Amino acid sequence: LQARRLVHIVLFSRATHQQAMSDVGLRVSCAREALLKADAVCFDVDSTVITKEGIDELAAFLGVGEQVAALTAQAMGGDVPFHEALANRLKVMQPSRQQVEQMLAQHPPSQILTPGVHAFIAALKARGKRVFLVSGGFRQMIEPVAKAVGVPASDIFANNLLFDAAGVFSRHDETEPTSRKGGKAKVVVDLKAQHDFKTVVMIGDGATDMEARDVPGGADAFIGFGGVVVREKVKAGADWFVHDFDVLLHVLD
């Protein structure tokens, strides 16, 4: 009898802990409601849809991981404008088309999908919600991710690596909104206006994802994702902060 009581106490404690973990946020009930009635859901990719940071993985593959990490730290500290930081990292990396293809062949993005994300995206689509991938990463590396989760390439908004005819890196496409500060927010604003979406939810791990909620005409709710990495600023500012896509999937049930 005592052992049975102990099991009940443990199970109750776990359930209480899980409930508390799933109720973190400034406007949890509003975010849940927005997710239910959303016309579209926009996802960040790195450390959200996948468990890695694409630019770091490519830099490591090219043997310049530490140099790029230092430049990333500078960018995070706000010492360098966003578009300059991206250009500086690419200047160090100089990835050829062949190297990008080789990396993707050796490290398929489908193998680093965040647990539960495939099922969650499938559930969103089954309910008629449009899904977009909005990333500061590179289209060449995100297209295989999109394919793995059933999102068409036309619904990707990301940076684009440009190569010459021989496959040598030339530059990145500076006309992409995500190549500049506030780019993700601009993408969400434009999507709402172009498609007449009434309710859009943004999901991601970073401050640039949260910005999409904080501009006029932007996302109606921001769900912070901490299943890969927890960023305290995001946790403190999110409408709802979760560590597991299954928590979001249950809202749709």
Does residue 239 carry a catalytic annotation? Answer: no
Does residue 44 carry a catalytic annotation? Answer: yes
Longest CA span, the chain:
75
CB 55 within 8 A of CB 68: yes
Which candidate, 186, 201, 194, 67, places its Cα nearest to that of 136?
186
User: Exposed e or buried b for every residue in 145-160, given b needs 16+ CB within 10 A?
Assistant: bbebbebeeeebbbbb
Q: How many CB atoms lie within 10 A of CB 111?
A: 9
CB 188 within 8 A of CB 158: no
Q: Which residues pair with 224 in a beta bridge?
A: 204, 241
Query: Which entry of 46, 205, 209, 244 is annotated as an active-site residue?
Result: 46
DSSP H or E segment with residue 157: strand 156-159
Query: Which entry of 39, 44, 56, 246 is annotated as an active-site residue?
Result: 44
Alpha-carbon gap, residue 187 to 189, rounded angstroms: 6
Alpha-carbon gap, residue 213 to 90, rounded angstroms: 29
Which tokens in the block code for residue 89?
Answer: 């990292």
Amino acid at 94: Q
Q: What is the DSSP string of 172-201?
A: E-TTSGGGSTTHHHHHHHHHHHHHT-S-EE
List residues with catalytic annotation: 44, 46
